[in-house]
Amino acid sequence: MDSADKDTTCINTIRTLAMDAVQAANSGHPGTPMALAPVAYCLWQRFLRFDPDDPIWPNRDRFVLSAGHASMLLYSLLHLTRVKAVNPKYEVLGELSVSLDDIKRFRQLDSRCAGHPEYRWTSGVETTTGPLGQGVATSVGMAMASGWMASTFNRPGFDMVGYDTYALCGDGCLMEGVAAEAASLAGHLGLSNLCWIYDNNKITIEGHTNWAFTEDVATRFIGYGWNVTRVGDANDLDMLERAFTTFKSTDDRPTLIIVDSHIAWGSPNKQDTHGAHGSPLGEEEIRLTKKNYNWPENAQFLVPDEVPEHFAQGIGKRGRAAREAWMEQFRAYEKEFPQLAKQLYQMQHRQLPDGWDRGLPQFEAGTSLAGRDASATVLNALAKNVPWLIGGSADLAPSTKTRLTFDDAGDLTADNPGGRNIHFGVREHAMASVLNGLSLCKIRPYGSGFLIFSDYARAAIRLSALMEIPVVHIFTHDSIGVGEDGPTHQPVEHLASLRAMPGLLVLRPADANEVVGAWRVIMETRHEPAVLILSRQKLPTIDRATFAQADVARGAYALTDDTDPDVILLATGSEVSLCLDAHAALARDNITARVVSMPSWELFEAQDDDYKRTVLPPRVRARVAVEKASTFGWDRYAGSEGQIIGLETFGASAPLAELQKKFGFTVDNVVSAARASIASAAERRDREGK
C-alpha cells in the first residue's frame, strides 16, 4: 500500500468510526468528523508535536476541538494514535485513553467518549469543549502560556518551552461573542504560535448560515491583525499541508486557516446536506456511504491493522523523538539552571514552592481597610514567592487593585510575553476563558472585575469548575456598597448563583485578616477554581484579641466566646462587623448573641457534622442571617424560626448610608430581627412542650 492509499485508509477509518459510533448511540453529530477527517489527519500525522505515549509532556503542541459536537473526530484520533491514559497523579498508564469499546459505547455512562470532550476524563483532551466559542477562546490562553513560559524558562541553548496551539472551530464558534473578544486579544498580542482552523461549511442547527451569518470572516480576522489563508477543499491534503506550513513560518501574528468543507453522502437525497450538525445517518445511509469510500459495507467499527501502524510511523515516531530529546535536554537544564528546573517541575505538578506564604501580612485591629486593598497587599506578597502566579483585569485593575507592583513584574505585551500583569481589555468573557487556557498549561492565573460583571464571565467560570482547574476569579464592588453607581452595578443575585455552581469555591471575607486566610485557602487548592469576593468600601479590622482568630479554612467560625447563646447572628463580608455591633447592643439588654462569620459556604459544608454543630448548635433556633445580597439559600442556616436580612429587590442609586437604612442593614434592624427570632423560637418550644 503506497503512501496515498495509507492516507485515504486512515481518513476513512476516522470517518467510519464516527458514523458507527453515532449510529450505535442513536445520538450525536457525524457530519463534521466526516468532513474534517482529512484536516485533522493532516495536522496530527504531519505537523502536531505530540507523543501518544506521554500526552502530558509539557512542550507538546495543543490541539483544541472547539467544535465539541464533533467529538468523535477527536476520539477516533486518540484511539488510532494509541494515546495512553494518565491518572490524577500525572502517571502515564499502559492502557489506552480511548479503547475501541469506549468508542462502541459513545455517549453512554462511564464511557471515555462522552458527548463532548471532557478534560480530566479522557487523556488527550486538552480542554472541555461543547459551549461554542469556549475552545477557541481557551486556546488563546494556551498560546499566551507558551510565550510566557518561553520567556520565563528558556535560556541560550535551552529552549524548554515553545509549543504551538491549534484550535478547530466552525461557524457556531465564530458567531459567539467570546470568540471575537479572544481573537481581538490574540491579534493584539501577536500570538504567532496560535492557529485556528475554521470549518467553513455554511451550516448550523437551524440550517444554512445565510439565515444569520453572512459576514466576511477573512476580512474580519485581517482586521484583528491575523494572517489568513484558505483551503478550498477539505480533502486536499497538499493544500492543507501548505496552509499549516504557512502558519509555521509566520512569526508575527496568529493564523486563521479557512477550510471549505462539504459532505457528500452515499445517497443522492443527502448530497445537499453539509452535516455539521444532525443525527445518526441510518443503517442504509451508512452502508451506501461506506460503499462510496470503497469500505466493507457491513463492517462496523473496523480499524485496519495498517492504520495505527501508519500513525505510529508519523505522529508516534516524531512525537517520541521530540519528547526524548526534550527530556535529555531537561536533565542538562537541571544541572545548568537548577532553580528554574525546579520551578518548571513544581508548576507542571501544581505544587507550591518552598516559602510560598513568606511575608504575608498580619493586619492590626483599629484600622479600616477595604477588602480589595487588603487583597492587593496579599497578592503582591504571594506573587513574589510564586513566580507563575500571573493575571490581570478586564480594564479595571485600578479599581480591583490587582496590579503587581513589585520590581520586574512587568506588563504582558506583544513585545514582552513574560510580563506578569495582563491587560485583558474590556473583555470579561474572553478573560475568564483565557484564564482557563493558562491554568490548563499549569500557570496559576487570576483575573478580576466587578462582581456584577461575573455574569459576562459565567460560562467560562462554569467550565473551570467542570474541569477542576484552580483558576482564581477576583471580584470587587461586592454589594450595594457601590452606592451611587446604582442597581446596574450593585450585585444582588450573584453570590447565590455562584454558590449554586458545583465545584466552585466562593469566599467573601469579613476583614483584612480573613482576606489573608482566604488567599491561603486559594493557594493550597489544586483542583478547584475560587471566586474571591471583595468590598470596595473600608471594613474595620476585627480585634482578634477580643474575638476569635480568622478561621477561613473551615468556612465558618464563631467570633464570640459563648457557651449558651440566645441567638446566633450569621454574616459574611462587610455585614460581619454590623453583627458585632448588634452583638454589643444586645449584650446591653442581657441577650447573648453568638456572631458567626461564614466566609465560605462550601468550606463549611465540607466540615464534619461535629464541627458544624459546634458552630451552629441545633438547640439554638433563634438565628439571624445578614448579607447584602439575595436572601436565596440562607434559610438552610437560618432555619424556620430564623430571620434573614438581605435583598429581595434590586438596589438603588444613593450614598451607602442611605442604602443601608433603606434595606435594613442597621444595628437597630439586626437587633429587632434577633428579638423576633428569639420570640419565634420560644413560641415553638412552648408548642412542642419543651
SS3 state at 507: strand
666: left (phi over 0), alpha (psi -120 to 50) or beta: beta
Q: Which of 584, 586, 579 is nearest to 665 (CA)?
A: 579
Which amino acid does the sequence have at 657? A
Active site residue 428: yes
pLDDT in tens, 399-411: 999 999 999 999 9
Whole-Å CA distances, 18 to 22, 36, 272, 594 = 6, 11, 20, 61
Whether 208 shows a pLDDT value over 90: the answer reads no
pLDDT at site 209: 75
CA distance 373 to 536: 8
Q: What is the pLDDT of residues 111-130, one digit of tens each?
A: 999 999 999 999 999 999 99
Answer with the residue of higher pLDDT: 29 or 252: 252
Question: What is the percent of the chain where pLDDT is above 70?
Answer: 97
Quickly state the pLDDT bin for 91 (edges 50, 70, 90): confident
Residue 469 has pLDDT above 90, yes or no: yes
| Tens-digit pLDDT profile for residues 146-163 | 999 999 999 999 999 999
Catalytic position from the list 126, 176, 181, 428: 428
Q: How far, in Å, CA of 22 to CA of 37, rounded?
A: 15
Nearest-angstrom CA–CA distance, 302 and 296: 9
Is 204 within 8 Å of 41 (Cβ atoms)? no
| Confidence at residue 2, expressed as pLDDT on a 0 to 100 scale | 78
pLDDT for 263 equals 55
- Residue 278's pLDDT is what? 63
3-state secondary structure 212-265: CCCCCHHHHHHHHCCEEEEECCCCCHHHHHHHHHHHHHCCCCCEEEEEECCCCC
Mean pLDDT of 98-105: 97
Q: What is the pLDDT of residue 667?
A: 97
Consecutive H or E run containing 645: strand 643-647
Model pLDDT, residue 685: 82
Nearest CA to 52 out of 83, 91, 96 is that of 83
Query: Alpha-carbon distance 332 to 330, whole Å?
Result: 5
pLDDT-derived band at 271 (thresholds 50, 70, 90) equals very low
pLDDT of res. 629? 96
**Within a 10 A sphere around the Cβ of 40, how many other Cβ atoms?**
25
Give the confidence band of 88 by pLDDT, cuts at 50, 70, 90: confident
Q: How confident is the model at residue 1 (pLDDT cuts 50, 70, 90)?
A: low
Angle, alpha carbons 640-642-647 (nearest 5°): 110
Judged against a pLDDT cut of 70, whether residue 308 lies above it is answered with yes
pLDDT for residue 266 is more than 70 = no
pLDDT band at 273 (very low <50, low <70, confident <90, very high): very low
DSSP characters for 1-33?
--HHHHHHHHHHHHHHHHHHHHHHHT-S--HHH
Question: pLDDT, tens digit, for every residue of 558-582?
Answer: 999 888 999 999 999 999 999 999 9
Complete domains list, the chain, with CATH:
3-323 (3.40.50.970), 368-540 (3.40.50.970), 552-688 (3.40.50.920)
**Count of CB atoms situated within 10 Å of the CB of 395:** 16
pLDDT value of position 687: 81
**Above 80 in pLDDT, residue 369?**
yes
Distance separating alpha carbons of residues 449 and 476, to the nearest angstrom: 6
Model pLDDT for residues 615-669, shown as the tens digit of each residue:
999 999 999 999 999 999 999 999 999 999 999 999 999 999 999 999 999 999 9
Question: For the whole model, what pTM was predicted?
Answer: 0.95
Alpha carbon separation from 230 to 66, 261, 594 (Å, rounded): 19, 11, 68
Please state whether beta strands 538-540 and 368-370 pair in parallel, antiparallel, or not at all (unpaired): antiparallel
Alpha-carbon distance of 656 to 477, in angstroms, equals 12
Instruction: Flag whether pLDDT at 608 surpasses 50.
Output: yes
User: Would you place residue 94 in the very low, low, confident or very high pLDDT band (cuts 50, 70, 90)?
Assistant: confident
Distance from C-alpha of 444 to C-alpha of 525, rounded to nearest angstrom: 11
**Residue 264 pLDDT exceeds 50:** no
